[in-house]
Structure 1
Amino acid sequence: MSLTWNDLTVSFEHLDRAELIEDWQWLVGSALPILITSVGDAFLQSETGEIFWLITGSAELEKVADSYEEFQGKLRDNELIHEWFLVPIVAQLKEQVVVLEQGKLYGFKQLPVFGGKYEPENFELTDIEVHFAMSGQMNLKIKDLPDGTQVNFSITE
């Protein structure tokens, strides 16, 4: 099955970039999203121009390029594209006819940091803003806990 850039990324022009990752400021500082993957990760650009990959499932921030131009070059590397955009999972979701809708992405049913798997069955259509708010808040709450700590969450409004 062939995938397009529209299968691997989501449009977020309708959203305020700073507000979108407000719940991730504890990890990303003032960096702002320049690209959002259809599986809920983001590529952010810092004030110095460096590009970082925010992996929302495990609350990791990885520098991937010193400049936007270098990042653009790396987007031509098929191996990196497969890693960054979870191409096999997106292909399986597309085969299962889980179709992206405007304002949505493939969000985790259970974050990997809580034992969720990187497999199609653990993804569902999720509002972009909800995904970044919930994943940022949950990861912040557990960031200082030792691995293996039992965690219970309750959702309040």
Structure 2
Amino acid sequence: MLEVSAASIAEIAGSEKEFHQRCVDDAEGWLLRPLVDRCRSAGIVLGPTQCYAFTTLPLFGGEYKVDNIWICAWKEWLSFTATIYSQTKDLPDGSPVAIKFVD
């Protein structure tokens, strides 16, 4: 499972069938269904090419709460978080990180 907001990757199933069933059950809460429900209740409703994004990534201490959520085009969000992941994946936990935005 690639969790782009937390910059983590892990094997979570031994087969495609097991993965599908674990997603249906979602016992571990991977799909963040309660957070999505709270976003919808707060009026944060996605369009067909959008996803929920974090103002502060969980990787950097951001919380899984509605007030840390905004709507982003999913292609932009995946591109941004992939860049963050590629630049931080080998850092030890607790490493200081500085983000520099460039046009």
Q: Indicate the TM-score class for this superposition, using the shorter chain for normalisation.
A: 0.7 to 0.9
Out of 88, 99, 102, the position equivalent to 1:153 is 99
Q: Which runs of 5+ in 1 are unaligned?
A: 1-52
Structure ranking higher in strand proportion: 1
TM-score, length of structure 1 as denominator length? 0.59
Out of 61, 72, 93, the position equivalent to 1:115 is 61
Q: Which runs of 5+ in 2 are unaligned?
A: none
Report percent identity of matched pairs: 28
Q: Give the AA of the match of 1:70.
A: E
Aligned-pair Cα RMSD in Å: 1.7
Say if 1:79 and 1:110 are closer, same or farther in 2 by CA, change over 3 A: same
Alignment of 1:40-119 (within 5 A): 53-80=1-28, 83-119=29-65
Instruction: State which drifts further: 85-94 or 53-62.
Output: 53-62
Moved >4 Å (runs of 4+): none
Q: Give the AA of the match of 1:69.
A: K
Q: Give the AA of the match of 1:55.
A: E
TM-score, length of structure 2 as denominator length? 0.85
Q: Give the deviation of 1:72 after TM superposition.
A: 2.5
Deviations 1:120-155 (A, max 9, x none): 111110111111111111122222333333322121
Deviations 1:14-48 (A, max 9, x none): xxxxxxxxxxxxxxxxxxxxxxxxxxxxxxxxxxx
Q: How many residues align?
A: 103
Bigger RCO of structures 1 and 2 (CA < 8 A, at least 6 apart)? 2
